[in-house]
Structure 1
Amino acid sequence: MFLTKNDFFEIMEGNRRLTLRAIEAFPEDKFFNFTPDEKLRPFSEMIKEIVNIESGYINGVALDKWEYKDMFEGISKKEDFLEISKEVRDQTRRLFQEMDEERLNVVMQDSFFGPEMSHFARLQYALENEIHHRGQGFTYLRLLGIEPPEFYVR
């Protein structure tokens, strides 16, 4: 059995709730500054990427408006990161519900990152990217001596 559009969205929603709880677990300064190695980015930079990709993709998929922009320009407080993340997700909820499943099957060149793919595959990539970076955030939390949110609570 394949996932329906709404099944997939529920998976996206559960993952976002967990990501928001990971953000909340970080102390303010560590959210913006902590990295276990100079080659790695702070969790705040990963959240920027997650949410900016989501915004760019949902506007492109739903409205055919392909623009990748930094939704966090000038933002330096964790509370504001949470608020912007929630605002982008609210927009995603609205646009996702307005789309039909046929729209998710459209195949085209990726306007931001790479090869031709379906809109569903594009949104799946965004979800996998979020999961990957959240896992890095969980590792950062553990290195800071902070227990990450329970993975199974969505």
Structure 2
Amino acid sequence: MDIRELFLKQKEVTRKRTRTIYPYIPRDKVAWVPAEGALSLGLLLRHVWHSESGVRQVPLYDRWSYFERRIPEGLFPILGEVTDINYEIEMLEKTHNETMELVAQMPAERFEQEFVNEKFGFRRKGYVILLGIIEHEVHHRAQLLTYLRILGTPWPGH
């Protein structure tokens, strides 16, 4: 199994686990936050797909536009307003499917290529950036489960 196959397989397994949570997300709690300054339930979902869409641009195309906006502006300003949990879930799935298709077609040498941006102090190989997308989803899935636990949402995983 090469790194491309490993990434695609692990990304799909990770998303399969994330999908099990979708039915338990209360649609009427889009703006709920566990504490002041935290991402709302809806913004948490948006952040996952929005960052995936932006971060993947580096190994795919050597484009840094996501970081050029995200770093100086901060997280909240780039996410905008969220009003619909179902839309955010649709975008999670759309972004996931796009990433799977794009990485499946990505030139093999880009996995080992080092991507450098001195302005951001960034130096990583393509496969490390891509695996970071998976790690990021796992991190925020755990955060989402914590939100649901605080809300008292029943979930069979408890």
Q: TM-score range by the shorter chain?
A: 0.7 to 0.9
One-letter amino acid matched to 1:39? G
| Of 94-103 and 72-81, the range deviating more from structure 2 | 72-81
1:41-60 Cα shifts (integer Å, max 9, x gaps): 22322222211121112233
What is the match of residue 97 of structure 1? Answer: 104
Change in 2 beyond 3 A, CA 1:19/1:107? same
What is the match of residue 52 of structure 2? Answer: 54
Shift of 1:8: 2.0
What is the match of residue 84 of structure 1? Answer: 91
1:67 is aligned to 2:74: no
* TM-score computed with the length of structure 1 as normaliser: 0.79
CA RMSD of aligned residues (A): 2.9
Higher helix proportion (structure 1 or 2) = 2
Q: Which runs of 5+ in 2 are unaligned?
A: 70-76
What is the match of residue 130 of structure 1? Answer: 137
* TM-score computed with the length of structure 2 as normaliser: 0.77
Query: Residues of 1 paired with 2:140 and 2:22: CA distance?
Result: 11
| Of 68-77 and 57-66, the range deviating more from structure 2 | 68-77
1:93-135 Cα shifts (integer Å, max 9, x gaps): 1111101432111112259965211111112222212111111
Query: Residues of 2 paired with 1:7 and 1:54: CA distance?
Result: 18
Query: Residues of 2 paired with 1:111 and 1:48: CA distance?
Result: 28
How many residues align? The count is: 149
Percent identity of paired positions between Structure 1 and Structure 2: 25
| Of 2-11 and 52-61, the range deviating more from structure 2 | 2-11
Query: Residues of 1 paired with 2:4 and 2:84: CA distance?
Result: 34
Which of 24, 31, 34 does residue 33 from structure 1 map onto? Answer: 31
SS in 2 for 1:76: coil
Q: Which runs of 5+ in 1 are unaligned?
A: none
One-letter amino acid matched to 2:92? S
Shift of 1:149: 6.0
